[in-house]
Structure 1
Amino acid sequence: MSLFAFANDHTGRLLLRLGIGFTLLLHGVAKVGEHAVLSDIATHLQQIHLPGWLSHGVFVGEIIAPIMLLLGFQTRLAAALVIINMLAALGLYHLPHILTLTPHGGWRIELEVMWLFGAFALLLMGSGRYAIRPD
């Protein structure tokens, strides 16, 4: 038996769901109760003529969607929500950082881009077998 006999597409999808879901959920939970964060997001939205109440969408994209990914429930919908959230974050906050590196040589927006592209992959592939509701 091969050392990698356990490896398959379904295991890969599970690992991708867990990686994106867990790290993004922690990012979202840190915003709970932080009214200054919601106020800042609302201000950015209003500057581009969108209603400030849309700032609460951060909780959909960074708490609800990651929980859905972790569970494997409506994975493609959850991935779409993460994509929308990441595009909004990139558009509202990170456009000036697209060509910027950190002091350690990493891309300034690497985390957001990894979440974005990981969510795109899950949107295309679905949850895999190891999910509450496989698709």
Structure 2
Amino acid sequence: MKTIKKNTDFGILILRVLVAGLLIFHGIGNLLNGYAFIKNMVVQSGLPEFMSYGAFIGEIVAPILIIIGYKERLASLFVALTMLVAILTTHTSEIFALNQFGGWAIELQAFYLFGALAIYFTGGGKYALSNK
């Protein structure tokens, strides 16, 4: 039986495209709705309204950088920070809760948070624009 050759760099590329690609769709949905919900949550949390535009950077700009592999470590750190703020401002009551299907109530936010952290710690791999 032939063994499959390990290709960590291709795995990192798949991780980058998966995490960032899915997050872009989430960000586009928020963009089409004008970030009104996010602005409201930011203001209710006692933060200035202009900080809601950080969600635009964390959900659209940073994922594009992650996909193309340019400054992906910095971009993934921004995505992780965006998701942490989203969890702490919007989903605090759900951190220890289950959804209607028995899964973790914030599994999507956790996926983006920990996926971004994985990209931060691994870097962009060989198939990244910023690869030297």
**Is TM-score (shorter-chain normalized) higher than 0.5?**
yes
Task: Please tell me whether residue 116 in structure 1 is matched to residue 113 in structure 2.
Answer: yes
Three-state SS of the structure 1 residue aligned to 2:10 is helix
Query: What amino acid is the match of 1:21?
Result: A
> Matches of residues 33-112 of structure 1 in structure 2 within 5 Å?
33-35=32-34, 38-112=35-109
Name 1:10's counterpart in structure 2: 9
Verify the 8 A CA contact 1:41 1:52 in the aligned structure 2. Answer: no
Shift of 1:23: 0.5
Three-state SS of the structure 2 residue aligned to 1:32 is helix
Name 1:19's counterpart in structure 2: 18
Shift of 1:85: 0.6
1:28 and 1:2 map into 2 onto residues whose CA distance is 42
Residue 39 to residue 30, structure 1, CA distance change in 2 (3 Å): closer
Shift of 1:29: 0.7
1:91-126 alpha-carbon deviations (Å, 9 max, x no partner)? 111111111112211111111111111111111110
Verify the 8 A CA contact 1:14 1:128 in the aligned structure 2. Answer: yes
Q: Matched residues, percent identical?
A: 36
- Gaps spanning 5+ residues in structure 2: where? none
Query: What amino acid is the match of 1:84?
Result: L
- Give the number of aligned pairs: 132
2:32 and 2:107 map into 1 onto residues whose CA distance is 26
Name 2:130's counterpart in structure 1: 133
1:13-41 alpha-carbon deviations (Å, 9 max, x no partner)? 11110110110001001111313xx2332
1:16 and 1:22 map into 2 onto residues whose CA distance is 10
Verify the 8 A CA contact 2:59 2:79 in the aligned structure 1. Answer: yes
Query: What amino acid is the match of 1:94?
Result: H
2:40 and 2:60 map into 1 onto residues whose CA distance is 21
Three-state SS of the structure 1 residue aligned to 2:32 is coil
Name 1:29's counterpart in structure 2: 28
Shift of 1:3: 4.5
